[in-house]
Amino acid sequence: MNGILTFSTGVPLVILDSQNNSQSFSAAQRPNVNGSDPNPPGNRSLSEILAKWFDTSVFSQPAAFTFGNAPRTMPNLRADGMRAWDFSVFKAFPIHESIRAEFRMEMFNFTNTPNFAAPGQSFGSATFGVVSSQANPPRQVQLGLKLYY
């Protein structure tokens, strides 16, 4: 038997403003952060979490010809972390003196745990704060039979 457990925290989110209010030579600007904590309370259903990963009302459009005050990455806002368990089982069967068969079963994402992709990070877009996809594939199982002679 083999197993691989993978655990990691999510990466910090980069919130960008799709409008160039500063008239600078960059397509990517940052919105204003209004001082509140963008992390919503933890007692929400999964559908509420996916529809609004963070509190989008904390962000606002900067005034014309000014830069937003949002940092390059939001230190307290992170994408979903990685949780994965890969598992495999091997079994050898003797057939004859010099012949044996080996059966193997390998399962990737054994517990079928979804890891969600990062939410929309473009302020002003319809998908701002919305998680719309899964970052990992569902459970995959592969079987193998090997003959040694």
For residue 5, which amino acid is it? L
pTM of the model: 0.76
Q: Taking the chain, what is the end-to-end CA distance rounded to the nearest angstrom?
A: 23
> Which residue's structure tokens are 């050898």?
92
- Chain center to CA of 19: 26
pLDDT tens, position by position, 21-33: 666 666 678 889 9
Its domain, for residue 141, covers 2-148
Question: What is the count of structural domains for the chain?
Answer: 1
Per residue in 62-118, pLDDT tens? 888 888 888 889 988 999 999 999 999 999 999 998 999 999 999 999 999 999 999
